[in-house]
A and B are shown apart, each in its own frame.
Chain A
Amino acid sequence: MRPYQVATAAFFILIAAVAMFDTRSGALPDPTGTAPGGLKSGWYPFWSAAIVAAAAGVVIFQTVTRPQPVEGAFKDRGSLFAVAQLVVPMIVVVYLMGEKLLGFYIASGLYMAYFALFTTRYRWYWALAAGLITPIALFLIFETGFRAIFPKSFLYPGLPF
């Protein structure tokens, strides 16, 4: 677990360093008296980032000097695969949900069907049912009921979604 903890804290130090660099001009109280209340706009984010960096530094020190659990970040390859199985299709589907691509409803239906077919290993007709019922129900609730507008597919306006 130690390398993962150190890497995580180091990543936060990097983020804090970028933020501190970007707002460095406001780090100190304004001696000219032109800034309202004596603080420039960069003061608050600069010191918030400084808190992140300082605390992350202490976390790294504690991680290196104190005993840590021997196991890694993931239980085994199977658990890593389970997460990847969820994350990768999720990113693809969110991309496809965009306007003039598949749109929200078609992409949602495909996502439901994909999961039912490949994760739950349902029979094809159940997967088809999940892929059809979910987007239709969502369309009726949100577009018809709440009059909310979600991204439409390249088939719009030929199809209502």
Chain B
Amino acid sequence: MEVFGNLAGGFQTALQPVNMVFLFAGCLLGLIIGVLPGLGGTSGVAILLPISVYITAASGPTTAIIFLAGIYWGALFGGVVTSILFNIPGEPWSVALLFDGYPLAKKLRKPGLALTSSFLASFVGALIATLLLTFFAAALADIAITFGPAELFAIFILSFTTLVGLGSESPMKSMMMIGLGLLLAAVGFDIITGEPRLTFGRIEILSGIPFVPVTIGLFGIGEILASAEEAGIGYVEKISSKLGFKDLIEGLDALRKRIVMVVVNSILGFWFGVLPGHGATAGSFLGYGIARQYSKNKENFGKGEISGIMGPQCAADASAVGSLVPMLALGVPGSPTSAVLMAGLFIWGLQPGPLLFVEHKEFVWGFIASIYLGHLLTFLMCLLAVPLLAAIMRVPYGVLTPFILIISVIGAYSINTQMKDVFICLIFGLIGYWLRKMKYPLAPLVVAIVLGDQTERELRKALIGSGGDPFVLIGSPLAAALMALAFALLLVPLVRTLRTRRQPASGDAPAA
């Protein structure tokens, strides 16, 4: 089969010494970022995105994506350590691990088993998801290559409405964030006519609002400010962080007993990740829910049940890998982190989407092969370096915070070497912080900023092609079906609200 040949070529690319060095560096940085509570994987990838420009210049875009994705894989594993050992989620996707990971480590005094169970589940989940990605992404890209502007526009609309319809936050707030993202993306020259829009006579913003400083601000600085408010983290309970061979054997035995649940959760997590807007965080909660629902030991959940660790962890990793499928095959990011990775592709001069599989085969398959290697590498690093990772938690907040802010400044400045981008980053840092406080979702905002230009381009290309006839947008059966699905997804929150209202009230109403 062609896929195997491509994958073998991909391994040849990924195994080149320079790629392995950057994969190692990415995974290590990701592990450190994952362990630190004040900084998320998405922020880490966003902050280091501009560094990838230098890596691209030196070694090419394949090395750059391997490095950035390595950060993501590392962060997926790293968040586990703090959740289990310190009861502090290092990452949003490791929150679900607090329910059973910490009790197993502390109350049942089995920190080694809790950690190895989690690492093993991560590895198996990612492996299954990467296998699915290997076969599914190329097939999807083969189909997508035949899409015209109307179908692509419908896919973008569907990705936006998925964020509104299936998001856990207020649908109206999600809608607002999408509108805001599209508006920000529209600032500057019109992509078709070249007329300036929303520039208010300022030549500095004629080229538009750069999305890299915006993303670094929203995620990096916004998160730092949010965690500064919660800085009472100070007290950290010490639990043994050593891993022994016995723990690994016990973990493997636990995995053997739960292999069906792990495989099912990984497959479901993967498909969940494929849906736009659903990265590892949503996947981990889905995994916990499924593991609990179908467990024979429901009463043990919350008290240190291993299924409560393996279930969310394998689903989180599988979702993270799954979120790369629409990014690679359709040019639609499946999660905030893949939106940032996609921004990287634009910066390196690549156009994500089906043509990537044809025009940049080596890049795509080298990247896919690196996902296998990245997870294996991170898994081994975790087994060997847990005590070291736990020690990172003891680096004082007062040193880490300014350092992360300086790195954010470097990231914002590096793309265009302009201080105005640093100020944009700061402004969006404050906006991101406030939006977090007001419970506005940031993922729709970032996805809309990244996709805004392309959505408009496909819409106007479709209309130009049809001489201005809007029915071209539902002219083909596929475009019509995607649009109908998008519309149906918009109705989901409404149906949910109506159903909740019809159900008889139980318990006391919350205080006004």
**Which residues of A are in contact with B by a Cβ distance under 8 Å?**
4-5, 8-9, 12, 15-16, 19, 22-23, 29, 33, 35-42, 44-45, 48-52, 55-56, 58-59, 62, 67-68, 70, 73-75, 79-80, 82-83, 85-87, 90-91, 94, 97-99, 104, 108, 111-112, 114-116, 119-122, 130, 134, 138, 142, 146-151
Contacts and interface: CB of A to CB of B under 8 A. Distances in A.
B183 interface: yes
A59 B173 contact: yes
A121 B234 CA distance: 14
B172 A97 contact: no
B60 interface: no
Contact of A45 (B173, B186, B509): B186
A112 B399 contact: yes
A4 B401 CA distance: 27
A79 B419 contact: no
A134 B398 CA distance: 14
Nearest to B422: A94
Given A41-B197, A45-B197, A45-B198, A52 B512 contact: no
Contact of B406 (A68, A70, A108): A108
Contact of B511 (A37, A42, A67): A67
A15 to B, nearest CB: 8
Contacts of B438: 4-5, 8, 73
A111 B512 contact: no
A73 B434 CA distance: 9
A55 B179 contact: yes
Contacts of B413: 104, 150-151
Interface string B497-512: 0000000000001111
Residue of A36, A49, A90, A142 contacting most chain B CB atoms (<10 Å): A90
Given A52-B183, A58-B172, A130 B399 contact: yes
A42 B186 CA distance: 9
B437 A79 contact: no
A79 B229 contact: yes
A45 B193 contact: no
Interface string B186-205: 11001011010110100000
A87 B460 CA distance: 42
B98 interface: no
A112 B402 contact: yes
Nearest to B439: A5
Nearest to A99: B419
B292 to A, nearest CB: 28
The 5 closest A-B pairs by CB, nearest first: A120-B398, A38-B468, A37-B463, A51-B179, A41-B190
A90 B463 contact: no
B426 to A, nearest CB: 6
A104 B417 CA distance: 12
A87 B198 contact: no
Contact of A86 (B228, B410, B466): B228
Interface residues on B, range: 35 or more
Given A23-B198, A67-B509, A83 B229 contact: yes
A73 B437 contact: yes
Contact of B198 (A19, A80, A91): A19
B175 A115 contact: no
B423 interface: yes
B410 A142 contact: yes
Contacts of A9: 176
A52 B445 CA distance: 11
Interface in B362-411: 396-399, 401-403, 405-406, 409-410
B192 A86 contact: no
19 contacts: A4-B437, A35-B193, A36-B192, A37-B460, A37-B461, A44-B459, A45-B186, A48-B182, A49-B179, A52-B180, A52-B183, A59-B173, A79-B229, A86-B228, A87-B430, A90-B405, A119-B398, A121-B398, A138-B406
B104 to A, nearest CB: 31
A86 B54 contact: no
Contacts of B172: 55, 58-59, 62
A41 B197 CA distance: 7
B229 A82 contact: yes
B225 interface: yes
A121 B399 CA distance: 11
Given A41-B193, A134-B403, A116 B225 contact: no
